[in-house]
Amino acid sequence: MPDNIDRQFPNPKDLAPLLKFQLPTIHRKQRRLERALDIWDLREIAKRRTPQGPFDYTDGAAETEASLRRARQAFLDLSFVPNILQDVSAVNLSRQTLGRTFGMPVGIAPTGFTRMMQSEGERAGAKAAARFDIPFTLSTLGTTSIEKVVAAAPHGENWFQLYMWKDREASMALVERAKSAGVKNLVLTVDVPVSGARLRDSRNGLTVPPKLSAKTLINAIPRPEWVWNFLTTAPLEFASMSSWNGTVGELLDYMFDPTMTFEDLKWVREQWDGTLTIKGIQNVEDAKRCAKFGVDAIILSNHGGRQLDRAIAPLHLLVDVKRELKGDLEVHLDTGIMHGGDIVAAIALGAQFTYIGRAYLYGLMAGGQEGVERALTILRDQMTRTMKLLGVKTLEELEPKHVKLLATHAGLGKLPQ
């Protein structure tokens, strides 16, 4: 058999460059987060560090959880169509929306009970958002007051999300607090006449704050940092209504008003003089009706799959809504975004802006503010790499031609040329 290898004794000079070892960092959190290469890695870290009840509250969706799976699958069931030989040495991710230019085309969506997932809660999200020059949206069901969120990130863009209560005047009193704190954009959520059936929460017996039952304690013992923070920080409460002393179910019945109609939307528009964004649009007709009420933006969203089971994937609705609205208002999108390429695809198909919820919370549970910043760094790097590989330097260069959706999805409409 012929010998095709010329052998020699190893030369120490040749080995020296190969034997350079990097000393491990003494910062365990930093080391843990650096190992996370995508949002799914952060999710795995979050699952190890968070008790089952809070983790499942974040991770789960309504009933069969089909709405969430399909929203995520919609992003996987597309193909990118790149252009070659383009100068992409510098990529610009900045995006203008609602009269303000942000560093990236993605904001942090409103999430409830956030300090239950990790004790830094909403303040960590607001600070991270400010560092990345993107908006942070505080939920009505947040566990930090709007005043404290603004104080934590005074130079950030802090928005407020409203559930219209049965007590309309109390709702607007809350909005006035947000306005006094400097909020310029109000996000009105409209897809919650009742709470969705979130079966994981029911099976876990989740309450807010979590009850220290035997099951909870056994599950929490391997997660001492979460337990320590839970026991040594202020009790969990709904910061927008700290005097509430009922159960979570009673609270949601109070918060979610099944009598709300477009007349209430008209009333909110008359009361609020800032920009108004409507979250939870899931068909073309409702999108067109919102335009008639002077709304500035709509968010195509199925509430992260947490309301109506088997709801339409927002990405599948995007093209038809953009065509019908003809620029009457901005079209934003959330639900299912777990990769920077998902954001790029949504922008190419016509979204002006996008939002993340779980992706941010996985980072929060994995490492507080630093974990949120890791999540945003991952998404930013993925967006930059995807755009370079597509052959575009700016978001404005992205067009529907850069994305092909699977033809098997009914109701997508014809992509604009």
8 A C-beta contact, residue 159 and residue 181: no
Q: Is 15 helix (H, G, I), strand (E, B) or coil?
A: helix
8 A C-beta contact, residue 362 and residue 352: no
Which residue is catalytic, options 27, 155, 303, 409? 303
Q: Between vectors from CA 230 to CA 229 and to CA 235, what angle results, nearest 5°?
A: 125
Q: Between vectors from CA 320 to CA 319 and to CA 321, what angle results, nearest 5°?
A: 95
Residues facing residue 187 across a β-bridge: 161, 277
Amino acid at 287: A
Burial 77-93 (b: 16+ CB within 10 A, else e): bbeeeeeeeeebeebeb
Catalytic residue list contains 402? no
Strand locations in 236-327 (E): 275-281, 297-300
CA distances 416 to 95, 291, 328, 406, Å, are 22, 21, 17, 16
Pairing of strands 95-97, 100-102: antiparallel
8 A C-beta contact, residue 393 and residue 387: yes
DSSP codes of every residue in 326-379: TTSSEEEE-SS--SHHHHHHHHHTT-SEEEESHHHHHHHHHHHHHHHHHHHHHH
- Find out whether the peptide bond into 209 is cis, omega within 30 degrees of 0: yes
E strand or H helix that includes residue 95: strand 95-97
Active site residues: 303
